[in-house]
Amino acid sequence: MKIHNLLEKAIDRRKGLHNITNAMRIANGEADGLKGITIDRYNRHFVIQKFIPKSQADINTVKEFIIKRFNPEYLVLKERSVFNASNTANFTTKVLIDKSSPRTIITENGLKFLVDLNDNVNVGLFLDMRKNRKIISSLCGKRSVLNCFSYTCSFGVYCSSGNALKVVNVDISKKALDKGKENYRLNNLPAQEKEFVISDCRDYIAGAARMNNFFDIIILDVPTFSRHRDKPFLAKKELPKLIEMSINILKPKGHLFTSTNCSSVSVFMLKDFINKSASLAGIPIKKSTPLSQDTDFPKNENMKESYLAALLVDFK
């Protein structure tokens, strides 16, 4: 019964989110008293992630709770023997309930997004960025936006729906961008090919600088690790240069949003990277605002699997 009580309390803490979305993290590991376990809800589809050897919760008990409480259409268990964001292959997947397809559509702040619970570790939408997507979209009316490391273009959907003048989504994965186009279509947004660019973001930004292609808002939601054509990207190593390059293609009074789940990069480090780059470029900073995860991601400093450093910088 202890696990049931912990889960009920965790769900109760998130009751305010039901007004804006049917997708959320209903249990965030140690921060909710469930060490080594996270549970994500996507409408009536659910993902349990078990981090071994950290996990202390009984999966059968968790499964029984979800069945009784939510009557799920799809439930999958993803076990990760080591939390190592540079090695996403180090996990196993087990489908526990499959009454419907692993794909479903969720709603968030009036927008729709497609998720696929069997598509690797990540399902197509990062729940922890919900609040930040809305903040950035509030800035982009009649402004140009560059969405780097766009993945399935959730920031792009928000910004396009927020009446951005243009949004360019850049990612190395054609598969991710194709899903981004599906998200655009779900929200009745025009999905022009020129707004979806398959490219290493470093190459795109360098090309934009050569072409004097400037943007009002740049989004750098960077992965901890990625690889393209044997060219690795390590957040801690690459962020300083990437931020410097990005600042050089910002229009006056522009905004830079940068974030990472890399636990070795703090928000203070992000601020230091940006301050140094802005000084080199001779562009004064008006304001720097640390941003965080939404209320379904309560903090616990011991949880590297639930980490986010994010900063929104307004330039003069």
Topology of the domain comprising 126-315: Rossmann fold (3.40.50)
State the pLDDT confidence band at 41, using cuts at 50, 70 and 90: very high
Q: What is the pTM of this model?
A: 0.93
- Residues of each domain in the chain carrying CATH 3.40.50.150: 126-315
Domain 2-109 classification at class level = alpha beta
Average pLDDT over residues 79-94: 65
Average pLDDT over residues 214-220: 98
Mean residue pLDDT of the chain comes to 92
Place of tokens 């039901």: 18
pLDDT digits (tens, 9 = 90+) for 227-266: 666 676 677 888 999 999 999 999 999 999 999 988 889 9
**Distance between CA atoms of residues 57 and 162, nearest Å:** 42
Of the ranges 32-36, 43-47, 86-90, the best mean pLDDT one: 43-47
pLDDT digits (tens, 9 = 90+) for 98-153: 999 999 999 999 999 999 999 877 899 999 999 999 999 999 999 999 999 999 99
Structure tokens at 68: 């009784």
First to last CA, the chain: 56
Average pLDDT over residues 209-230: 87
- With a cut of 60, say whether residue 2 has pLDDT above it: yes
Q: What is the 3-state secondary structure (H, E, C) of 99-126?
A: CCCCEEEEEECCEEEEEECCCCCCCCCC
| Predicted local distance difference test score (pLDDT) of residue 16 | 95
pLDDT digits (tens, 9 = 90+) for 280-305: 999 999 999 999 999 999 986 667 66
Average pLDDT over residues 30-51: 94
**Distance between CA atoms of residues 215 and 251, nearest Å:** 6
- Residues of each domain in the chain carrying CATH 3.30.750.80: 2-109
- With a cut of 60, say whether residue 85 has pLDDT above it: no
Residue 124 near residue 115, CB atoms below 8 Å: yes
| Predicted local distance difference test score (pLDDT) of residue 77 | 95
Cβ neighbours of residue 212 under 8 Å, at least 6 residues apart?
none
205 closest CA partner among 289, 135, 124, 148: 148
State the pLDDT confidence band at 87, using cuts at 50, 70 and 90: very low
- With a cut of 70, say whether residue 273 has pLDDT above it: yes
